[in-house]
Amino acid sequence: MEIYLDHNASTPLDPRVIETMRGMLGEAFGNPSSPNWAGRPARAALDIARLQVASMLGCAADEIVFTSGGSEANNLAIKGVYFAQSHAGGHIVTSAIEHPAVIEPVRFLERLGAEITILPVDRTGRVDPDDLAKALRPSTTLVSIMHANNETGTIQPIAECAQIAREHNVPFHTDAAQTIGKIPTNVNGLGVDLLTIAAHKFYGPKGVGALYVRRGVELAPLVHGAGHESGRRAGTESALLTSGLGEACNLASNLSDNSRIQNLRDRLWHGLRDRLGDRIVLNGHRQHCLPNTLNVSFPGRVGADILAGLEGIAASTGSACHSGLVELSPTLRAMGIDPWVGMGTIRFSLGRRTTEEEIIVVTERVIGFIDAG
């Protein structure tokens, strides 16, 4: 029995997304920028998708920039703001638990002369808004803090942090790749100026994403060429991929299934804890956590060995093995997790298709493997 509990890594295409994209394979072959009969269907599909993304985020359609995915959107937000405002000093604030798609662009800008402040997190993986307030300077050009962590599922106090940045007139970016379709992501409710989404994290196709850019935020393009995406991202847009993104956003606006998913997640946790006791440790915040994510450690064990022993179960580990040495992920390290505990970390991330039967099977297989020694 194959069981997929790695939805934070990627999700399967929703059948309704597939059907929408299938309709783009025939008629919408033209260039969306061509004002002729061939280009008009592609342009119409692009416009519909942009409206669907904007509707989900609660913003205007002209505030949406289509990208090739979450990594490009993060790069565009961070580098775009920096290069547009580098005259202001070039100080960037981010957190210690960001995805590499944020950390690496920040480090790149540091090599170009930007000053970087990395905010710490507590044991649960949360940033303290007071630390952000203390870190801001007159020269700060951007704050980038993820909405929720991909490994632990811990949700950050984005609204509070964004308000602090706004009071200092500093643009605020959040990587929401993990939160779309799981928790509310209205950009005005969050108070953010830039927000990243990636279609394949919420049942859309790989290779497409979007960046929300609040009106008035200056953004230098990364890709130069013709004036696509209102001059913010050159390159002919894909009606096929953006239509898939749009339909995925349309579906993600309905959060009603998340209570069922959370109940299954909690059942998995309680089933493991009740049988394993102190042989299992919960990582992340108990309340401020994505409804689908369970990050646990088995002290004294190695995550990769556990996964190898759970044949047929797709999940992720919070440690990596290099040349025989087990290393913690930067997120677990930033949280202060003891290596003896953290090296045995497994992340289970549930999805729309996860069933009660699957959770029962996973619980028994994990317990059986741990009990076997």
User: Where does residue 337 rank: exposed (0-12), middle (13-18), buried (19+ CB within 10 A)?
Assistant: buried
Q: Is the dihedral of CA 319, 323, 325, 329 positive or negative?
A: negative
Identify whether 321 is a catalytic site residue. yes
Cβ neighbours of 62 (radius 10 Å):
12
d(CA 167, CA 56): 26
Pairs from 263-270 (Cβ < 8 Å, separation ≥ 24): 264/350, 264/354, 264/355, 264/356, 264/359, 265/291, 265/292, 265/293, 265/294, 265/348, 265/350, 267/356, 267/359, 267/363, 268/294, 268/348, 268/350, 268/359, 268/362, 268/363, 269/294, 269/296
DSSP 128: P
Give one DSSP letter per residue of 163-222, joined into a string: HHHHHTT--EEEE-TTTTTTS---HHHHT-SEEEEEGGGTTS-TT-EEEEE-TT-----S
User: Active site residue: 59, 249, 289, 321, which one?
Assistant: 321
Residues with catalytic annotation?
Answer: 321
